[in-house]
Amino acid sequence: MMRWPRLHFGRSLHVREWGLLTAALFTIAAVLLVYHWLMPMYDQWTMLRAQVYAQQQELTTLERNLAMREAVEARFVELGRSVIQSESDQIILSRFLREIEAAARQPSLTLINMSPRPIDDNGTSKRYPVRLSVSGTPQDVVEFTAQVLNNSTVVGLESYSLRGVQGGHTIECTLSLWMVRLVEAAPSPDVVGDIALSQAKR
Amino acid sequence: MGRFRRRRCAPVLLCQIVDDRLEAILLRSADSLGDPSVEPWTSKRPLPPRSQVVLLLPRSEYLIRVLELPPVEVDEVAQMLRLEIEATLPREFGDTEVAYRRLNGATATSRRYEVYAVRRESLAEHLKICEQHDVQPDCVFPTAVLWARHLGHETAVDVLAVATKGGNWELATVQGDGQVASRTIGAHGTDAATLQTGLVEYLRPLLDQRGNAMPALRVGWLGGVCPAASNGRVVFESLTDLLVAPDVDEASSVAPLLALGATTLNDMQRTPELGTANLLPQWLQQHRLERSSLRAIATIACCALLGLVLVGAALQVAVVRYHAHSAGLGGRITAIQKGGEAVGRQLEQLEAVQRARATRGDLQRVLSGLYEGTPEEVSYNHVELGREGHLRLRGQAESLSMPFVLPERLEPLPMFQHVVLRDASQSRRGQGSVVEFHMEIQLVREEASR
């Protein structure tokens, strides 16, 4: 007849059993410690370290900006209000194209073609790109370019291509220009509220 | 029975139990410069690292039997001797622990062993007393091992008389095949009459065996005062000089048995057969080993857990400090954020303006540079400036040699750098020929050059 093995509860454990029990308890305790205490804390520590690093960077940038405040404001005063965008994009672009056409109105200079490109807005400033081709004597082309680039607005020259026209002393110049307009920061809600209140009082 | 091997250069604590007290001496091995040293030891002193503990069991605690076995494997000798001796012992003797020492006189069919048997209860009592004194013996030697060693090798005496525990004396002699015959005489300290009676009873049969023609029986004396009397057939000799004696003042307090044991153990490397005379059971040694392993495992586990806790505590401290630091930084940022970001925005705008203005003079600079550096024999029919200030030129020259001069003439100009002539060739055109070349230059803008 088969006998079932008996379990002897209450007897003292053998040394080997104590060893196994110790190892098992240690493993359980270590796993619990690591998963429920150490790892979350390590993640928190890592996140905080990254956050502090980012904050330090931000603080450094802000402090450096503040240190340059007076110089920056002086440069802005020098720039004047003409570079600030105060009208709609269409009107500004129209005015810029009109200035180019006016500069090209010379007897020996021909504006062959001109086309505006999509406006690039990066939040703080806007770029109004225009691509155009003119032909004329080198002297006239240089004068035209200087007039367009050095007018009251801020205009940059992205690229150009000069090509000699065969059988004459004229050249054909293709220019890629862009005009810059600065976007003023939107007033904070507090300022908007103050303005609305003052208007209502009036 | 666990075989005992003495570790080289390891100190040995040699001890005996005397009326529930532990008497012990510490034997330090001889080094290359001097003799071994022996010093009394009390349980208040810590044992040196790697020490081995040897307990001497007095003759009154164990039995001696001489048994013969057929030649068997060394590992099986102890088990077979146990079976043999248990068959000869009465049931009342109880469980026994057995050790042995091989005797001389082996034949082709048999080996002779001197077997020592001790009651397990008696051994356990001795070990318990040792534990009470924080000592764990690695080996339990019967005193017969000492007699065999000394009477067989060290001395020329026929009988050894040694004072043992509680004022008892052990008398021992060794026969020709190495067999030890020993006896305990209870003299109760200073009872000289009892000692004398016991001595006479022990020596008489020996004298009878020797007969009158043989030289006098020499009795080696250890402990107490060596009797000076001699009747011509018995001579007493003091063996104190043979012992490894302590150098300290407590010399007189060291038991003779321990001093004799120290001498034996000091030479044990030369008598490895004594290792089988260890009465300490192997299971007990195994048990101790397991316990020490368990203790080591538990210690390591505790240290590891403690390490984890320390790491956690360090992380906790770091988190708290980072929290505080982050809060401080956040406050400082909030205080200057509005103004700083406004200036940052203005800076971005100024940069956009600067980028545009930096390109205003490009056409003029290129043309003036080309006018300045180009010889009259060279003309250009295509000038192209890319976004990054990369200038590509195509032109014609009257001679093929002229394009190769151009890089040297244009490179020194401040507005040009990396002037490279890509190709130049002369080809037929109409009735004559034309030289055409292709060149690439990097334009140095005004802002970048500052």
pLDDT digits (tens, 9 = 90+) for B153-205: 666 788 888 887 667 888 888 887 788 888 888 755 556 677 778 888 888 88
Q: Closest chain A residue to B294 measured between Cα atoms? A: A19
User: In tens digits, what is the pLDDT along chain B, a chain of 450 residues?
Assistant: 666 666 666 788 888 888 778 888 888 765 444 455 677 777 777 888 888 888 999 888 899 999 999 988 888 888 899 898 888 888 888 888 899 988 887 788 889 999 999 998 999 899 889 888 888 888 899 988 888 887 866 667 888 888 876 678 888 888 877 888 888 887 555 566 777 788 888 888 888 887 777 778 888 888 776 776 667 778 888 877 666 554 444 445 567 788 778 777 776 666 666 778 888 887 787 878 888 888 888 898 889 989 999 999 999 999 999 999 999 999 999 999 888 988 888 888 888 888 888 888 888 888 889 988 888 888 888 899 988 889 999 998 888 888 998 999 999 999 999 999 999 998 888 888 889 999 999 998 765 333
In chain B, what are the helix, strand and coil shares in percent, each to the nearest 5?
45, 30, 30
C-alpha span between B261 and B170 (Å, rounded): 14
Q: Tell me the nearest-neighbour CA distance from B334 into chain A, angstroms.
A: 9
Give the minimum alpha-carbon distance from A169 to chain B in angstroms, rounded to a whole number. 11
Residues B312, A33: C-beta atoms closer than 8 Å: yes
A44 to chain B: closest CA residue: B319
Count other Cβ atoms within 10 Å, centred on residue B153.
12
Contact B6, B52 (CB under 8 A): yes
> Which one of A16, A125, A131, A166 makes the best mutation probe of the B interface by having the most chain B beta carbons within 10 Å?
A125
Q: Are A177 and A96 in contact (CB under 8 A)?
A: no
State how far the Cα of B124 lies from the Cα of B131, in Å rounded to an integer. 10
For chain A, say whether B323 makes contact (Cβ under 8 Å).
yes
User: For residue range B399-429, what is the model confidence (pLDDT) as tens digits?
Assistant: 888 899 899 999 999 999 999 999 999 888 8
- Residue length of chain A: 202
pLDDT band of residue A6 (cuts 50, 70, 90) is low
Q: What is the mean pLDDT of chain B?
A: 82
What residues are paired with B426 via a beta bridge? B435
Inter-chain residue contact A62 with B297, CB threshold 8 Å: no
**A86-A90-A91 Cα angle (round to 5):** 55
Query: What integer pLDDT is reported at residue A139 of this predicted model?
Result: 86
User: Mean per-residue pLDDT for A119-123?
Assistant: 87
Query: Average pLDDT of chain A?
Result: 83
d(CA B131, CA A191): 88
Q: Which residue of A has its CA nearest to B316?
A: A41
Reported pTM: 0.55
Gyration radius of chain B's alpha carbons: 51
Tokens of B281: 């059971």
Contact B99, B82 (CB under 8 A): no
Yes or no, beta carbons of B359 and A158 under 8 Å apart: yes
ipTM: 0.75
Strand partners, B221: B161, B238
**Digit-coded pLDDT (tens) for A39-66:** 999 999 999 999 999 999 999 999 999 9
Q: Which sign, positive or negative, has the C-alpha torsion B135, B140, B141, B142?
A: positive
CB distance B182 to B114 below 8 Å: no
Tokens at B141, concatenated = 């030697």
Q: How far is CA B19 from the centre of its chain?
A: 38
User: Are residues B369 and B443 in contact, defined by beta-carbon separation less than 8 angstroms?
Assistant: no
Test B362 with A162 for CB contact under 8 angstroms. Answer: no
Is the CB of A83 less than 8 angstroms away from the CB of B353? yes
Chain A: residue nearest B290 by CA?
A: A15
For residues B160 and B57, give the distance between their C-alpha atoms in angstroms, rounded to a whole number.
17
Helix-, strand-, coil-residue percentages of chain A, each rounded to 5: 55, 25, 25
CA distance A176 to A158: 5
> Does any CB of chain A come closer than 8 Å to the CB of residue B336?
yes
Strand partners, A177: A130, A157
Q: Which helix (H) or strand (E) holds A134?
A: strand A125-136
